[in-house]
Structure 1
């Protein structure tokens, strides 16, 4: 059988338990309980002994010297026990030192028992049954009281109990009081019962301690396992963040070079190869964008823009994009909508519905998919039904995990990345809408998304959008990146678009170039993470301070760590994430230049 580690699980480490360690912990707890229970009990017993001695002395039933001597001995025993308890509390000994304290406690308990034994002989008259019964009453109460006080350990209990009670059994046999045989039988029964109860109580106490320490060990083991898991998760996140950043750099450069190739003269075969390279880069870009989406959501760097959303238009646009794929698979894709409006973020809501509908079409091989909405009170429910493969009950919770895919162990990219529903879960939490799912294998699945209903707003017709302007060629763009390949790729692609560039690996290098260049730069494109811990935001501030104006700036980053994303977005600058498609980069540069020209 494979170990849990081979399945990627983190087994809970069992705490190391040795008999000596458990014995020490149990023994130490027994001694602590004895010391905790002792003071009140021995003071009560001592007080009872003194009262009994005084009463018999005043009644003339006992010689005064014996009564007071016995009382003095009892006081000495009580003070010895109290002194031992005080010394124990002050010492706070380690668990391994419990044996010496138990021996001292048992020795004093034996002295107390011996003192009661002597008192039994001094306080009992062979000719007075009433006196014997009075003494026996007090002694049996003291003996019974020793069970909760000393019963946590049999050694001190035995050292005290038997010297206290056994003399009276002997007196009943030797003096042969009236009904002595009945008294002897009752005493034997009492001694046997107390012995059995003491053993049972002690066994239960030890068993309770064992269970308690097992729970302590289990909690400690879980704490260690949790700490290890958190450490492993942090290490994994750090590794993924570093690996993602390092992988994005060459992919970003590759995408820029491919963009530059589009303006080169080449034959049809070469253009086909370039197109395939561009497709591969786009596939890698899709993966990185999905990872980036998760990182941004985890970093709380996405703020929903709630507004009234026309649900029918949104669903129709999404359905239209998947009708072609459904037709190729020869499955139906039907849409049932009403004139409902909901309050949500239209972009994020569309992302949720697209991911769910995409999965429904992808995993439906026969039958069809139905997407519709209906009103339930002041809420609108968007439902996506399919007659696809369905999801087993034991896998339904896991489909919202990152990179989890059913029946795709070979990680076929054409079947998705396993990130869509992980993003959906985060987005529904962000939008505070409820998502539920019901599925049966081989019969299909239904997802239900519950959204708050709102009224249709009064919308003014939009202004005509401004006509796009051509790029302003021969404008100088500053490029700061600590990767030489990125600098070269960026300069190449910008040159192919007609821009002049100045490239540097840091802000200080760029300042040195600007000191000898008389051009007026129009834009700054800067990597966010630079050498020596510097950031792109700091570089932008240095360049702007040198130029004496707020030159438009564009940050580019390959980081996916949530804290770094939040930090970069806090700068307030336009932020693009590597690998940047050359079309997106060109559009961002054009928008910034046009905005600065106004």
Structure 2
């Protein structure tokens, strides 16, 4: 619908809304004046009754129109119909009042004539606020109420009446101008309000569209990530299964290259998983007193070889402070920032240090390429990279700083960036100071003593991808386990029906075919053995809601592709924990 029609509809709503007070107030005022004139014998009773009757009839008719409008609740497109009838009613009302004033006019007394004119002036002045929203209705009312008195004044032929007619015309022009300005102001106010409503509605639609597009993107990435993780996970398992086998140097070299490619893909998936976990709100924060110096030394030591290979100096300033933070997450932040500093610095040095104040400011300086001012917010977006239009994977995938921004927000550690293109950058994190402790041991989030010897016992593997079944079976058997693999719960139940050995572990994909879920499968197999057999979920899903659901199941959750050392340590840990608890 056009804006002009909506404005007109608002004008009609306004004049109908203002109808009752003016309509019934006018009837009472004219009735009162008429009865007073009857009381002082200035007008005959029969003439007075005629005027009061006509006024009552037109008031009733216009009141009926008002009620009809309220009941109809008309659409904005119907404004013309209701405007037309209102204007007709206003015209009839104006003629009734204007002609009625002449009908009861006292011809011998100028003072009473002035009283009648003053009443008309009062009624038309009130009509400005009541009808001026829709100027055609006001003009119709104003002209119809004014013409009879003006004609009567001019017909009298006396100086006083002519003077009154001139004053009436002057007053008529001023009131008309006031009504015009009032109407224009009303229209401007309505237009502004409607435009604001349209703007808000447009923003709401754009926001909804953006959210839908973002949700669609997330669903696509989650689906694509899941589908890509499956073969990569199977490939990593096959590579691990091939490692202990004898082969010549050329085959070993090819296997190393395959393993390197698998690790690169695993790194990409790991970054996507970190983003999904942070967006899902399933990353737990365990704040404690963290010694800064050992943390910085450990991180910088890991990048020292890479820096030396580029001819860079990677230096760490001593810092004896303790901070209140999550050791694992803070280390992840610093690793990503220092890795970027080394990667984007071609000559000079990278300096890592701290400044103590109300908080500890951990700073990473570099003499690298720098970041243009216009790009300094973009670098925290996913997959955004400066100086890598060819998308060279050796330069990373563009997720490191996106993870840094999310982690600093999660930990409430403000992050600032200062950089000059061509001269270098400074990344600074403000971390609350903590109390020093004699010993601070941070959990690594991994099993500290991964099982390295041969395993034993039966392990059940449920995955709807045949390649993963074969790869898991081959790998776990090379580690010493007996393996039964199946693609669904029913298939596994058939296989264990003739197998009397109680499994030591159940490994299940989180999402199987036909909407079968991993937790339900593990519970069903547990009930078959009537035993709380340890369970492990492996998933390729990165959708935040899927991650949250899997976390809430209570089973150990690993994400495809699983590093072989992580898988082996996890299996050993679950089996050993169960047997230790049983002792």
TM-score tier after normalising by the smaller chain length: over 0.9
2-structure distance, mates of 1:77, 1:22: 34
Q: What residue in structure 2 maps to residue 354 of structure 1?
A: 335
Q: 1:498 to 1:399 in 2, by over 3 A?
A: same
Equivalent of 2:512 in 530, 545, 558: 530
2-structure distance, mates of 1:577, 1:331: 36
Shift of residue 423, structure 1, vs aligned partner? 0.9
2-structure distance, mates of 1:469, 1:49: 104
Between 1:298-307 and 1:196-205, the stretch displaced more is 196-205
2-structure distance, mates of 1:216, 1:304: 42
Q: What residue in structure 1 maps to residue 117 of structure 2?
A: 136
C-alpha distance after superposition, 1:450-479 (max 9, x if no partner)? 1121222243999xx998765344532221
| Unaligned residue ranges in structure 1 (runs of 5+) | 1-16
Q: What residue in structure 2 maps to residue 497 of structure 1?
A: 479
Q: What residue in structure 1 maps to residue 399 of structure 2?
A: 419
Q: What residue in structure 1 maps to residue 304 of structure 2?
A: 323
Equivalent of 1:566 in 548, 562, 567: 548
Q: Is the 8 A contact 2:540 2:561 kept in 1?
A: yes
Shift of residue 280, structure 1, vs aligned partner? 0.5
1-structure distance, mates of 2:189, 2:563: 67
Equivalent of 2:494 in 512, 530, 534: 512
Shift of residue 350, structure 1, vs aligned partner? 0.2
2:198 counterpart of 1:217: yes
2:373 counterpart of 1:393: yes
Q: What residue in structure 2 maps to residue 106 of structure 1?
A: 87
Shift of residue 578, structure 1, vs aligned partner? 0.5
1:457-468 map, 5 Å: 457-459=437-439
Q: 1:93 to 1:466 in 2, by over 3 A?
A: closer
TM-score (norm. length: structure 2): 0.93
User: Secondary structure at the residue paired with 1:302?
Assistant: coil
Shift of residue 110, structure 1, vs aligned partner? 1.4
User: Secondary structure at the residue paired with 1:437?
Assistant: strand
Between 1:330-339 and 1:351-360, the stretch displaced more is 330-339
2:63 counterpart of 1:82: yes
2-structure distance, mates of 1:422, 1:279: 24
Q: What residue in structure 1 maps to residue 187 of structure 2?
A: 206
How large is the Cα RMSD of the aligned pairs? 2.3
Equivalent of 1:556 in 534, 538, 557: 538
2-structure distance, mates of 1:65, 1:294: 90
1-structure distance, mates of 2:271, 2:202: 36
User: Secondary structure at the residue paired with 2:497?
Assistant: helix
Equivalent of 1:273 in 247, 254, 260: 254
1-structure distance, mates of 2:175, 2:574: 93
2-structure distance, mates of 1:468, 1:138: 101
Shift of residue 178, structure 1, vs aligned partner? 4.1
Q: What residue in structure 1 maps to residue 461 of structure 2?
A: 479
The count of corresponding residues between Structure 1 and Structure 2 is 576
Between 1:289-298 and 1:365-374, the stretch displaced more is 365-374
Shift of residue 181, structure 1, vs aligned partner? 4.9
C-alpha distance after superposition, 1:42-75 (max 9, x if no partner)? 1111111112211222222222222221122112
1-structure distance, mates of 2:289, 2:302: 23
Q: Is the 8 A contact 1:471 1:590 kept in 2?
A: no
C-alpha distance after superposition, 1:358-403 (max 9, x if no partner)? 11222223332221112213x2111112232222233222222211
Shift of residue 244, structure 1, vs aligned partner? 1.0
TM-score (norm. length: structure 1): 0.91
Q: What residue in structure 2 maps to residue 31 of structure 1?
A: 12
Q: 1:388 to 1:177 in 2, by over 3 A?
A: farther
Q: Is the 8 A contact 1:129 1:177 kept in 2?
A: no
Q: What residue in structure 2 maps to residue 261 of structure 1?
A: 242
Q: What residue in structure 1 maps to residue 100 of structure 2?
A: 119
2-structure distance, mates of 1:536, 1:415: 37
2:384 counterpart of 1:404: yes
2:286 counterpart of 1:305: yes
1-structure distance, mates of 2:502, 2:109: 124
Shift of residue 436, structure 1, vs aligned partner? 1.9
2:573 counterpart of 1:591: yes
2-structure distance, mates of 1:24, 1:454: 65
Q: Is the 8 A contact 2:473 2:483 kept in 1?
A: yes
User: Secondary structure at the residue paired with 1:478?
Assistant: strand
Q: What residue in structure 2 maps to residue 9 of structure 1?
A: none
Between 1:561-570 and 1:169-178, the stretch displaced more is 169-178
Equivalent of 2:525 in 530, 535, 543: 543
User: Secondary structure at the residue paired with 1:374?
Assistant: strand
2-structure distance, mates of 1:214, 1:473: 72
Q: 1:474 to 1:340 in 2, by over 3 A?
A: closer
C-alpha distance after superposition, 1:511-554 (max 9, x if no partner)? 22122123343322221111221222122212222223222322
2-structure distance, mates of 1:75, 1:468: 99
Shift of residue 23, structure 1, vs aligned partner? 4.2
User: Secondary structure at the residue paired with 1:516?
Assistant: coil
1:138-287 map, 5 Å: 138-287=119-268
User: Secondary structure at the residue paired with 2:290?
Assistant: strand
Between 1:243-252 and 1:125-134, the stretch displaced more is 125-134
2:418 counterpart of 1:438: yes
2-structure distance, mates of 1:530, 1:139: 85
2-structure distance, mates of 1:480, 1:90: 67
2:313 counterpart of 1:332: yes
Q: Is the 8 A contact 1:39 1:81 kept in 2?
A: no
Shift of residue 125, structure 1, vs aligned partner? 4.3
Shift of residue 416, structure 1, vs aligned partner? 1.6
Shift of residue 179, structure 1, vs aligned partner? 4.2
2-structure distance, mates of 1:154, 1:394: 53
Q: 1:469 to 1:198 in 2, by over 3 A?
A: closer
Q: Is the 8 A contact 1:372 1:383 kept in 2?
A: yes
1-structure distance, mates of 2:370, 2:564: 40
User: Secondary structure at the residue paired with 1:427?
Assistant: helix
User: Secondary structure at the residue paired with 1:498?
Assistant: coil
Q: Is the 8 A contact 1:140 1:165 kept in 2?
A: no
Shift of residue 180, structure 1, vs aligned partner? 4.4
